[in-house]
Amino acid sequence: MQQSEGVKEAMLRFYILSSAYDVGSFDRLVSQKHESMVIGTAPDDWFDDREQWRSAFEMEGVRLEAGDALRSYQEGSVGRVTDQSTFVFPDGATIPTRLAAVMREEDGTWKLVQAHFSVDVPDEEVAI
């Protein structure tokens, strides 16, 4: 895989438009040709179809900010992104996350197929 400015720009566009609650841009950002899903940080944040993901995209008041560690790669029409992004809530509270995402190039545009956000919690804090 090689580094990809196109994949990076697509991820940054996703951050901006999702934070602006621009639901109309959802279809331009998320693949319509492939099964898509997003896994969030809360136990019930598992959206394995487009309509569920769209409803999460519509949550007003929550911003998603890019981190300093955004890395993007591509091989052919498949791209991947990793980042240390941050969810910012209306009251100013933040959740630092780790992101792993997969993209596909469709008709000359990079679109998200899958995104997974996780929270950096030590194993001993969640071990049962």
| Predicted local distance difference test score (pLDDT) of residue 56 | 67
Q: Is the dihedral of CA 23, 89, 6, 50 positive or negative?
A: negative
| Predicted local distance difference test score (pLDDT) of residue 37 | 85
| Predicted local distance difference test score (pLDDT) of residue 113 | 93
Stretches where the chain sits below pLDDT 50 are none
Q: What is the pTM of this model?
A: 0.87
H or E stretch covering 126? helix 123-126
| Predicted local distance difference test score (pLDDT) of residue 42 | 83
Residue with tokens 């896994």: 39
| φ, ψ for residue 101, nearest 5 deg | -135, 155
CATH number for the region 2-126 comes to 3.10.450.50
Residue ranges per domain, the chain? 2-126
| Predicted local distance difference test score (pLDDT) of residue 26 | 79
